Chain A
Amino acid sequence: MKYGFFFRYCLQRVGQCLLVIFIGITITFVIPRLAPTDPVESAIATANMSGQYTHPEAVAEIRQALTELYGLEGGILEQYFNFWKRLLKADLGPSYSSFPTPVMDLIRRSLPWTVGLLLTSAFIAWAIGNLIGGLAGYFSQRGWARTLGVFCMAIRPTPYYIMAFVILVLFAYILPIFPLSGGLAIGVHFSFSWRFITSLLKHAFLPSLSLVIVSGGAWFLGMNSLVSNIVAEDYVVYAEMGGVSNRNILFRYVMRNALLPQVTGLALQLGMIFNGALITEYVFSYPGLGYLTYNAVFSGDYGLVIGIAIFSIIGVAVAILIIDLAYPLFDPRIRHQ
């Protein structure tokens, strides 16, 4: 009986997840086609802007040839079915701005950078923010807790671009310890060498630091506020009166209870990794998915925009599914229901 309920619960959640993915992908397919974006016109406009001579009669021929080449012939329904056929074979089609490179190749090249940077930064920020936030919430009367609170409150409204730029100017220009831009030093390529690893870490440090400061500050404030409420709960007061050590109260009773919404937040944030971190990547010239999206939008490359969006939709939907499935494990109240 118990297993039957769990099976139904899982099936329901998986079904919801698949439906969300299907609707999300369909919307992603339709929206760029409603927008005044045309990859063929974009290619012609690029040639036009760059000052290359084209005979007027040749323009019509180029338009026709590119429409055929990009597979943009036929009605929207025909394109939609072809799109699903390709997608089910894990083929996202070609990028129009980097034709004929497959969209999957472009995403595959950028994804490791984004995942590496954002995943690491997200976990570090989450761990530090929650730990210090929890401590500061529990020992809220201490001077250091108040100072940290003020610091995080000050960081919270600061636009990320400004924060990132200040860090860049400080540590790459005034104190030239870290590089101004890029993912690796010039001449360094992927290899399992000390040079590669140090170059990678050195280039990732500032973008990561900027993300950790901003995101960690937000986690700090969230945890601080949750813990501040929980410490006034009866069971915490009872534990204190019972002589349970501060350490046990904080980590076993208070933070454990406060952690649930934070775990949900982290899972959602991890799902959003597939969106990339556009501003971070732009400011630090970091070769990730955010910058790829930016270029795709500006060049009218909706094949690529759709590809990235699909990854993002699947990422968020799967993250939500995992939370849904894992919640009963974390929270006995759900198990009980």
Chain B
Amino acid sequence: MSKLRKKILLVMVACIIATLTVLPAFAAEKMLEVAPGVLRRETIIIEDPAGRIENPDNFNRWAPGVTTSSTGLQQLALDTLWYIDPDAGISTPWDNSLAATKPIYNKDFTRMTAKLRKGIYWSDGVEFTADDLVYTVETCMAHPGVLAYGANFEVMVDKVYKTDDYTVVFELKKPNSRFHGLFTVRWSACFIMPKHIFEKVEDPVAFNFNPPVSLGPYVLKDYDKTGNWFLWERREDWQRTSLARFGMPQPKYALYINPGPSDKRVMAQIKHDLDVIHDIAPEGMITLAEKNPTSKGWFKGFPWAHPDPTLPALILNNERYPLNIKDVRWALTLAIDIVDVSLASYKGAATISAIAVPPTGGYLSWYFDSMEEWLGDFTLDIDIDGAPFHPYDSSATLRIAERARKDLGDIGNQVPTDPMEIKKALGYGWWKNAPDVAEKLLLRNGFTRDKAGKWLLPDGTPWKISIAVEGPARPIMTRGGTMIAEQWRKFGIDAKTVVIKLLWQSMSYGDGDAFMAWCIETWGGHPDLFWFLESWHSDYYRPSGEPVVFKNPMRFKNAELDSIIEGIQGLDFDDPKCLELGLEYVKLCVEEMPLIPLMSYNVFTVCDEYYWEGFPTFENPYTNPVPNWANSKYMFPMIRPKTTE
């Protein structure tokens, strides 16, 4: 090789080495920006579970068909009177957000007064006043059934008016002690419209509200026309928003993205490109626990997930024979082994519930602690070996923990061993798997077995039952439903799962035997059950074939329950007697078993403490971390940039 050639070769090698070393450095530098001028260390990147938004130009949260609700819109730009955190809240679960006080009712609950905070401004500099609230209600009422909450106002509100710039009075058509629920965020609520913007619009239904004028601490900076990301920037005058009471929201920017399927979310977080995952499959959580030390769940270790105040259950159609028989519903319950269901659905990371409220937030002390003794004493009206049968099994979660510890291998040590910790994380207990008792319950109702051991109805025809599941759209529940069907088959019932993509519609019309879904949703941070229980009243009962009214897809009708609901309705929201009546409801549901409660809706929200720290956890439960909830706004003043990075 000539000298010249050697030199050329040497220069080329040097160039390649320089390129390989310098370029990644430049690339890394570039990576510190998520968008031009938007520094990564000033930005929190959050998953919006709504996925790709088909109509990203529409921010009119009150209009039908708006799909941008959880792109940061309801979390960062909209606000309303009150919030109830499903956990402990920053100071208390209840927060007077735009309101200065709690709702003020007259004695017979026909009038509610809302006192508003002073010094709150829209992002365009106009002050928020009573006019905005009155305008919101009147505009929604003018389009009942079309604008959000319009139909509710139409049904409930006789008159709405202001008495001064910071006081609004609602005259109600009928006594209603829970009217404030419309302005109280659980996941969402009726947010307040900017009157000065909407009043100039000809059609508030067709109006896009783009760019949205914000009442929260962030404004929309930019968004993707294909609906994959929405970038919000902290307002310079963030002090003039209700959240300022808790300090400055720390991230200068908040980026809500559609990161794609579960596996991609895991990859993105390992690369530190996604700070908050809304939800992933349990397998994804296990991978993150193994591979990314900065990934943190709600619990320090297993089961990691945040238990939402929602109760997935096996919703039985109480109108369908033989599910209309109490003994049959109990027999089906006792034919279930919850340990296997928990392992099949959540790989054991479920927080199970034997009663008809979710085991989350304050409900552990209000309902679960209060019910434990009663549940232990509870007996079914059947004798086993000469003694009444006690169906409650307080050791179910200990067995789940033990199985999970074995199944998880290397990270099995993250499963708690202390029974008290197990109770809080995995639930208090469930019903015994007692097929022998289930058999006796069926036999005494005229059921028989054929030669192959299959159950026959009293008329001699085979007993078939189908469990509707949503399939790949909701894999955890589908896996749970499939396991239950398998257990029932083992017990001798011809059971199967049916995948119905539009399960909620099917359930609404009562088109099926049993559905893996939910209809019990609580505040989590308040013991009142009225908001889901109201529609269980027999006044709202609708037979199969007609769409259900709100939350009673079981089509359960019970006079005792009616009087419990009426009792709660007549009491103030904070009256301690509401809890007593709530406990009566729980006992009634145990006795009647209109649906089979399973577990709380555990959401694997995983926060990466690489760029930010101080996310809410079970030890520091200042808010719900699930980022599509409007309550997650409370996270923003509480997190801190990670200084070590």
Contacts and interface: CB of A to CB of B under 8 A. Distances in A.
Interface of A: 36-38, 41-45, 48-66, 69, 94-101, 106, 109-110, 113, 165, 168-169, 172-173, 176, 180-187, 189-190, 282-285, 287, 291-292, 295, 297-298, 300
B63 to A, nearest CB: 7
B251 to A, nearest CB: 15
B122 to A, nearest CB: 24
B460 interface: no
Interface in B452-508: 473, 501-502, 504-506, 508
A289 to B, nearest CB: 11
Contact of B505 (A45, A176, A182): A45
A285 B52 contact: yes
Interface of B: 34-36, 38, 51-52, 54-55, 58, 63-65, 67, 143-146, 148, 151-152, 154-156, 181-182, 186-189, 205-206, 222, 224-229, 231, 255, 257-261, 263-264, 267-268, 271, 273, 310, 473, 501-502, 504-506, 508-509, 511, 521, 531, 534-535, 537, 539-540, 547, 549-551
Nearest to B264: A180
Nearest to B537: A56
Contact of A295 (B54, B182, B188, B259): B54
Contacts of A292: 54
B185 to A, nearest CB: 10
Q: Tell me the dominant secondary structure on chain B's binding face.
A: loop
Contacts of B143: 65
B547 A63 contact: yes
Contacts, number: 193
A285 B187 CA distance: 26
A287 B228 contact: yes
B273 to A, nearest CB: 7
Nearest to B507: A45
B54 A106 contact: yes
B619 to A, nearest CB: 25
A283 B271 CA distance: 18
Contacts of B205: 100
Given A43-B64, A45-B504, A66-B146, A187 B187 contact: no
Contacts of A43: 64-65
B267 A101 contact: no
B307 to A, nearest CB: 14
A291 B53 CA distance: 11
B504 A49 contact: yes
A18 to B, nearest CB: 31
Contact of B511 (A36, A42, A98): A36
Contacts of A187: 34-36, 38, 222, 231
B51 A295 contact: yes
18 contacts: A53-B152, A56-B535, A58-B151, A64-B145, A95-B54, A95-B55, A172-B267, A173-B267, A180-B259, A182-B226, A183-B226, A184-B224, A184-B226, A190-B225, A282-B260, A285-B260, A287-B52, A300-B505
Given A187-B231, A295-B51, A300-B505, A113 B226 contact: yes
A73 B189 CA distance: 30
Contact of B551 (A41, A48, A58, A98): A48
Given A53-B181, A64-B145, A41 B267 contact: no
Given A44-B508, A61-B154, A186 B35 contact: yes
Contacts of A300: 502, 505
Contact of A101 (B38, B65, B550): B65
A176 B271 contact: yes
Contact of B34 (A38, A45, A101, A186): A186
Nearest to B230: A186
B260 A283 contact: yes
Contact of B502 (A42, A50, A52, A94): A42
A186 B30 CA distance: 13
A109 to B, nearest CB: 7
Contacts of B152: 53-55, 58
Contacts of A295: 51-52, 54
A65 B229 contact: no
Contact of A97 (B65, B226, B259): B65
Contacts of B65: 43, 94-101
A54 B550 CA distance: 7
A335 to B, nearest CB: 46
A69 B260 contact: no
Given A41-B505, A51-B521, A182-B228, A98 B181 contact: no
Contacts of B505: 36-38, 41-42, 45, 300
A58 B154 contact: yes
Nearest to B34: A186
A52 B188 contact: yes
Nearest to B179: A55
B263 A61 contact: no
Contacts of A60: 549
A165 B258 CA distance: 17
A284 B267 CA distance: 13
Given A41-B505, A173-B267, 13 more contacts: A37-B502, A41-B504, A42-B505, A43-B65, A57-B155, A58-B155, A64-B145, A97-B54, A100-B206, A165-B263, A180-B259, A186-B35, A187-B36
B55 to A, nearest CB: 4
Nearest to B534: A56
